[in-house]
Amino acid sequence: MAQVSLSNVRKIYPGGFEAVRGFSLDIADGEFVVLVGPSGCGKTTTLRLVAGLEDISEGQVSIGGRVVNEVHPKDRDIAMVFQKYALYPHMSAYKNMAFALKLRKVPKPEIDSRVRAAAAMLGIEELLDRKPGKMSGGQQQRVAVGRAIVRNPKAFLFDEPLSNLDAKLRVTTRAELKALHQRLKTTTIYVTHDQEEAMTLGDRIVVMHKGQIQQADSPLEVYRHPANRFVASFIGTPPMNFLEGELVQEGSAVVFIEHTANGATGAGLRIPLTAEQSAKVRMRTGQAITLGLRPQMLREASPGARDRFEAGPVVSLEVRVVEPLGETMDVFATTPGGHKVVARVPAKQSLIPAGVHNFVVDMTQAHLFEPGELGVNLLLDR
Ligand SMILES: Nc1ncnc2c1ncn2[C@@H]1O[C@H](COP(=O)(O)OP(=O)(O)OP(=O)(O)O)[C@@H](O)[C@H]1O
Ligand SMILES: [Mg+2]
């Protein structure tokens, strides 16, 4: 096991495209770190730089305190599991798992005990004689993980290892991987574009955008205190709603006034900020600002409701479509200013009919961002 550090790492591919731009991260011994971000943001490239499968253009990668920029991949003592498991088709599961050890001339009895221990851990003992072509995707995935485990590496690198599995198997295998890490405590870097997978697996999640880290924190910290609008939009389902507008001072309160978009004719929403929020953004009155509301922070207004929503401001939304999900339902609506929003509300006996309805906003959980895709979160204490 080992610490993995990246310091100011850049990757410029031949042709000049800069896929990783000044990436710095210290991963503690035994930590499970998830790199998450949209397609093309540089997750795989970063992993390949750690593995040694790509040359580092600038900066330093170290594993266990040793700089490995010039170290051959096979001497870095790490194991990588890819999305395509790349098992050898003509070899049994046993031989697939034993192969790397055999190349290293590990004595046969030791290979056998390591392969059998890994197989037991992964529940694939009965598959050991079978070839990959005769296994399900989930079974092949476990063999691929087994092949990484037997090497007893300093670190595991996973690149979207669950994306070939169906939704149900993905959830159970995800839990198995987490349990496995709790058991082996091997330093792990795990890549996914699935924010839910990132949230559930990581000790820490690293949100990337165009080759750069936007935020690296515990999953709940990233969810509750997103550093900027991009992070806020990427983490959480359904994604956070964003309303463009400006702040105005009204007496001692600061009020968010929604700008009208897409040719909407009605006046925009007016939502007072809390006293605490007002104090933080008072100097920004008159300036453009983005209000961020998670779908869970909107509730249909009902006179009898007694919860944290009771005291919040009421907004009227034009409901277009309602999707029942069981315990909850997603309400797709439009604001008077023409912004599309989603509210995730507790399910009721009947769906909310299309038309204008009042919703309560839990403003204590709202976020305010500077304008733009990477606009910083103005309510964070820094
Ligand atoms: N060999 C290459 N030569 C030039 N550009 C490349 C090369 N490999 C990747 N890129 C570019 O670098 C960027 C990052 O690619 P990378 O594969 O790291 O993204 P990713 O975050 O893993 O995306 P995905 O979620 O789709 O797997 C992309 O814009 C990609 O087109
Ligand atoms: Mg990738």
Can the peptide bond before residue 238 be classed as cis, meaning omega within 30 degrees of 0? Answer: yes
- Cα angle 188, 155, 185 (rounded to 5 degrees) comes to 60
Mean pLDDT throughout 267-290?
94
Predicted confidence (pLDDT) per residue in 105-152, tens digit:
999 999 999 999 989 888 899 999 999 999 988 889 889 989 999 988
Give the Å distance between the CA of 113 and the centre of ligand 2: 34
Question: Is residue 363 within 6 Å of ligand 1 at its C-beta?
Answer: no
Instruction: Tell me which residue has its CA closest to atom 27 in ligand 1.
Output: 39
3-state secondary structure of 382: coil
- pTM higher than 0.75 for the full model? yes
Amino acid at 192: T
Question: Is residue 146 within 6 Å of ligand 1 at its C-beta?
Answer: no
Residue 30 half-sphere exposure toward CB, CA atoms < 13 A:
4
Token pair 């192969």 in the structure block, residue: 99
Q: CATH topology of 4-234 equal to that of 241-369? A: no
Position 252 scores a pLDDT of 84
Predicted confidence (pLDDT) per residue in 25-78, tens digit:
999 999 999 999 999 999 999 999 999 999 999 999 999 999 999 999 989 999
Give the Å distance between the CA of 86 and the centre of ligand 1: 19
Class of domain 241-369 (CATH, top level): mainly beta
Question: Is residue 39 within 6 Å of ligand 1 at its C-beta?
Answer: yes
Ligand that lies nearest to the alpha carbon of residue 35, given by its number in the listed order: 1
Ligand that lies nearest to the alpha carbon of residue 42, given by its number in the listed order: 1
Q: Say which CATH topology domain 4-234 has.
A: Rossmann fold (3.40.50)
Grade residue 367 by pLDDT with cuts at 50, 70 and 90. very high
Question: Is residue 13 within 6 Å of ligand 1 at its C-beta?
Answer: yes
Grade residue 278 by pLDDT with cuts at 50, 70 and 90. very high
Question: Is residue 40 within 6 Å of ligand 1 at its C-beta?
Answer: yes
Grade residue 266 by pLDDT with cuts at 50, 70 and 90. low
Domain range annotation of the chain: 4-234, 241-369
Phi, psi of 316 (to 5 degrees): -105, 130
Predicted confidence (pLDDT) per residue in 235-265, tens digit:
999 999 999 999 999 988 899 999 997 666 6
Contact in structure between 277 and 231 (CB atoms under 8 Å): no
Give the Å distance between the CA of 198 and the centre of ligand 2: 14
Grade residue 223 by pLDDT with cuts at 50, 70 and 90. very high
Nearest ligand 1 atom to alpha carbon 193: 25
Tokens representing 349 are 């006996």
Question: Is residue 43 within 6 Å of ligand 1 at its C-beta?
Answer: yes
Mean pLDDT throughout 201-214?
97
Mean pLDDT throughout 73-101?
90
Position 106 scores a pLDDT of 94
Give the Å distance between the CA of 227 and the centre of ligand 2: 24
Ligand that lies nearest to the alpha carbon of residue 12, given by its number in the listed order: 1
Tokens representing 157 are 């690198």
DSSP string, 188-208: EEEEES-HHHHHHH-SEEEEE
Question: Is residue 42 within 6 Å of ligand 1 at its C-beta?
Answer: yes
Position 253 scores a pLDDT of 87
Amino acid at 304: G
